[in-house]
């Protein structure tokens, strides 16, 4: 008989495969709640910021589709600043990158999402797709770790990057600031989710 779980009040009990827990129902664990979404307007945006992030989730996920107007034919870095801390030199970044012909790895004292975002001279209308996870963002007992996976199809010269960024502070994250060389162009989208 399948196990059915319900979190609607009452003592823990079992009857015919039904479990009832003594806590209020808050939605399924692992569920994603849409918290905010930003679509860059026709004028572009030098930065994108999420502020006042609520603390009631286990993790955060940021899903992005990005392109900048910076004069480059190759993908450029995007920068992530937690709680406005973009000048701190203690960030640590590790990455693994492939362009379909070669695989490279590296690390640096940086807070960049490495070489993922297409720029002005990249293939026309090409945007990146990036998924970024921020684990235990509201914990005050853990340093903050970001993991990201992103890439873009540049018509035969695409790329894929997998990386992580360490922000070595136990402060709860309440804001995220994203910048890049140049400005994000119209059509770039940033969507923030809370994970229960």
* pLDDT, position 4: 35
Distance CA 30, CA 116 (A): 27
Q: Which residues pair with 68 in a beta bridge?
A: 184
Distance CA 78, CA 183 (A): 11
Distance CA 190, CA 65 (A): 7
- Say if residue 189's pLDDT is above 70: yes
Helix and strand tally (H, E) in the chain? 0, 15
Average pLDDT over residues 78-86: 91
* pLDDT, position 29: 64
CA triplet 146, 149, 151: central angle to 5 degrees?
Answer: 140
- Say if residue 90's pLDDT is above 90: no
Q: Which pLDDT band, with edges at 50, 70 and 90, does 40 fall under?
A: very high
- Mean model confidence pLDDT for the chain: 85
pLDDT in tens, 91-143: 999 999 998 889 999 999 888 998 899 999 988 899 999 999 999 999 999 99
Distance CA 57, CA 54 (A): 8
**Running DSSP on this structure, what letter comes out for residue 68?**
B
* pLDDT, position 28: 61
pLDDT in tens, 128-138: 999 999 999 99
Task: For tokens 């937690």, name the residue.
Answer: 82
Q: CA 112, 115, 117, 119 torsion: positive or negative?
A: positive
- Say if residue 176's pLDDT is above 50: yes
Distance CA 178, CA 113 (A): 10
Q: Which pLDDT band, with edges at 50, 70 and 90, does 1 fall under?
A: very low
Residue pair 65/150 in contact (Cβ under 8 Å)? The answer is no
Cα distance between the two ends of the chain = 27
Distance CA 48, CA 178 (A): 5
Query: Under 8 Å CB-to-CB from 103, ≥6 apart: which residues?
Result: 96, 97
Which of 96, 99, 95 is closest to 112 using CA atoms? 95
Domains of the chain: 1-28 (no CATH), 31-195 (2.60.120)
């Amino acid at each position: 008989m399948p196990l059915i779980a319900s979190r609607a009040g009452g003592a823990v009990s079992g009857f015919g495969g039904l479990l009832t827990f003594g806590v209020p129902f808050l939605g399924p664990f692992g569920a994603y709640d849409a918290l905010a979404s930003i679509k860059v307007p026709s004028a572009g945006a030098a930065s994108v910021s999420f502020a006042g992030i609520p603390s009631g989730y286990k993790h955060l996920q940021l899903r992005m589709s990005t392109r900048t107007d910076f004069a480059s034919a190759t993908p450029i870095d995007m920068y992530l600043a937690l709680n406005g801390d973009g000048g701190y030199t203690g960030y640590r970044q590790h990455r693994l990158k492939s362009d379909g012909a070669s695989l490279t790895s590296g690390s640096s004292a940086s807070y960049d999402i490495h070489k993922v975002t297409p720029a002005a001279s990249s293939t026309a209308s090409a945007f990146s797709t990036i998924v970024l996870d921020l684990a235990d963002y509201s914990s005050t007992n853990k340093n903050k770790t970001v993991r990201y996976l992103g890439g873009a199809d540049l018509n035969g010269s695409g790329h894929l990057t997998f990386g992580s960024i360490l922000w070595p502070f136990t402060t709860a994250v309440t804001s995220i600031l994203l910048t890049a060389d140049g400005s994000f162009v119209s059509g770039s989208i940033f969507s923030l989710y809370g994970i229960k």
